[in-house]
Chain A
């Protein structure tokens, strides 16, 4: 299950004075089981890019291939692709509409034509995967839940479609720190099941900590791609990204001349160990 994007461009309102190139000749590949983050400033074309990964937007030029299916206007192919690529929009809780949580989560599988029995299994699994108690919430109205719970129900609605690739657009926007933490834990769990994850985020700390690879977008172009260590290396300061806090800390410590912290440590525990080792070596 891989995604292949070749020379992809998307132009809004082509042929009018309001024409804007949102995605400009972008090429990349994403492999099965990878955790890829997409970063870039607001308006850099991230959202337009990901909406083409499951055919919600049809590319103006270039091609997107998902596991051998190419995105085109063919309804049958689109259905297939949308089953393979789940897309979690920003503030997905606004798409909840059913009477009960279970019914809402079942909306996707039902559209796919999955059997009643299989749907129930998937719904239960998806709700549990999102860290919610199935027996407690299943028969509740989605509108009774808290903000963070609503969001997780909405994500469960996408998971229940059993996609191989899940695209998250700013999944933690507007959540409190605890909600963020919980959600990322859930995403990690989903990933462990072998799903490919594509995460669009503004939080460099989370991106550096979680992703295998980062795509950097700017003004519609893919200007850099690489591991977090490569993307946030000091040579890449020209990309004008806000480096993760720990990368900044490492840079400042290294500047004092007393430390030599290697690039690419993005979790607190790892950084603690590196610093202790450096200190221990000196004493």
Chain B
């Protein structure tokens, strides 16, 4: 039953975006999010849209996958839209009923907000679609490593994330197996009321905890046996390398940000 679940959503492909250094991708995504919320002009929206479009096209990722990210958030999007529509009181009233009033300004504001959020989801989705979870953690570790000076455990944090990611499929497989084993002993996980359902989870949870601890123990031993003693002096098998693509991406982003700042002061449209 868990065979159908894939964790993370990395979409394997060989595009320029896939080849980019994860650190650059993280910083660019971060910069994009900040800039996105500074937009206050129509030209800004068009430029940001263009930027997203160029990135998606360069990543060679099916657009269908990006839209899939929006699906679980439809309610929040709808909620924000409605709030913006009904709570904007300024502008010309287009429609009014009882205490509800829809103004042209409110409608435009709501639509623009929606576009902003969709672009945000698209762009962060693009980051996870084109970067494996492992290289994301490597990127985060590298970006956080200056904080090591103030005793921030950047390496430990990244290692924990890596191990957690690594064990998700393993634990899922294990859950599936133990569930089946208990079902073969007559357990059922989907009948009865809430209390019975919660109780039926005990044979699953205890065994999972036991096996998680056992695996953690074995892993710690295996890591120690191979001389792991923290991040001090540890080298990487595939060190992060900055290449031409990264500079190109950085230059593009800087130009984009410059344009956005300009639009904020000089109203072209």
Q: What residues make up the interface of A, taking CB atoms closer than 8 Å to B? A: 12-13, 16, 51, 54, 56, 75, 79, 82-83, 86-87, 89, 92, 94-97, 107-108, 110-112, 143, 157-158, 161
Residue ID in chain B nearest A167 by CB atoms = B184
Give A80 to B23 CA distance when docked, in angstroms.
57
Q: Is residue B257 contacting chain A, with contact meaning CB distance below 8 A? A: no
Partner of A111, one of B181, B186, B210: B186
- Which residues from B are CB-within-8-Å of A108? 185-186
Give A226 to B4 CA distance when docked, in angstroms.
36
Q: Is residue B100 contacting chain A, with contact meaning CB distance below 8 A? A: no
18 A-B residue pairings within 8 Å (CB atoms): A12-B3, A56-B183, A56-B184, A75-B188, A87-B181, A87-B184, A89-B177, A89-B184, A94-B181, A94-B207, A95-B178, A97-B203, A97-B210, A107-B182, A108-B185, A111-B185, A158-B184, A161-B185
- Which residues from B are CB-within-8-Å of A107? 182, 185-187, 203
Give A101 to B18 CA distance when docked, in angstroms.
53
Cβ of A94 and Cβ of B178 under 8 Å apart? yes
- Which residues from A are CB-within-8-Å of B177? 89, 94
Give A79 to B178 CA distance when docked, in angstroms.
18
- Which residues from A are CB-within-8-Å of B182? 95, 107
Residue ID in chain A nearest B183 by CB atoms = A56
- Which residues from B are CB-within-8-Å of A111? 185-188
Q: Is the interface of B mostly helix, strand, loop or mixed?
A: helix
Residue ID in chain A nearest B200 by CB atoms = A111
Nearest CB of chain A from residue B184's CB, rounded to whole Å: 4
Q: A13-B4, A95-B178 in contact; A82/B210 too (CB < 8 A)?
A: no
Q: A12-B3, A96-B207, A97-B206 in contact; A56/B187 too (CB < 8 A)?
A: no
Cβ of A82 and Cβ of B186 under 8 Å apart? yes
Cβ of A143 and Cβ of B210 under 8 Å apart? yes
- Which residues from A are CB-within-8-Å of B184? 54, 56, 82, 86-87, 89, 158
Cβ of A161 and Cβ of B186 under 8 Å apart? yes
Nearest CB of chain B from residue A92's CB, rounded to whole Å: 7
Give A258 to B128 CA distance when docked, in angstroms.
70
List B131-164 residues whose CB lies under 8 Å from chain A.
Answer: none
- Which residues from A are CB-within-8-Å of B174? 94
12 further interface pairs, Cβ-Cβ under 8 Å (given A89-B184, A94-B174)? A13-B3, A16-B4, A56-B180, A75-B188, A82-B183, A89-B177, A95-B203, A97-B203, A97-B206, A111-B185, A111-B186, A161-B186
How many chain B residues touch A (Cβ–Cβ < 8 Å)? 21
Give A24 to B174 CA distance when docked, in angstroms.
26
Cβ of A95 and Cβ of B186 under 8 Å apart? no
Per-position contact with A for B165-180: 1 when CB-CB < 8 Å, else 0? Answer: 0000000001001101
Give A141 to B137 CA distance when docked, in angstroms.
40
- Which residues from A are CB-within-8-Å of B266? none
Cβ of A95 and Cβ of B3 under 8 Å apart? no
- Which residues from B are CB-within-8-Å of A157? 185
Cβ of B211 and Cβ of A94 under 8 Å apart? yes
Residue ID in chain A nearest B186 by CB atoms = A111
Give A97 to B181 CA distance when docked, in angstroms.
12
- Which residues from A are CB-within-8-Å of B46? none
- Which residues from B are CB-within-8-Å of A94? 174, 177-178, 181, 207, 210-211
Residue ID in chain A nearest B182 by CB atoms = A95
Residue ID in chain A nearest B209 by CB atoms = A97
Cβ of A112 and Cβ of B186 under 8 Å apart? yes
Q: Is residue B76 contacting chain A, with contact meaning CB distance below 8 A? A: no
Cβ of B180 and Cβ of A97 under 8 Å apart? no
Q: Is residue B268 contacting chain A, with contact meaning CB distance below 8 A? A: no
Q: Is residue B54 contacting chain A, with contact meaning CB distance below 8 A? A: no
Nearest CB of chain A from residue B22's CB, rounded to whole Å: 27
- Which residues from B are CB-within-8-Å of A112? 186
Give A96 to B207 CA distance when docked, in angstroms.
7
- Which residues from B are CB-within-8-Å of A158? 184-185
Give A143 to B211 CA distance when docked, in angstroms.
12
Q: A83-B186, A107-B187 in contact; A95/B181 too (CB < 8 A)?
A: yes
- Which residues from A are CB-within-8-Å of B4? 13, 16
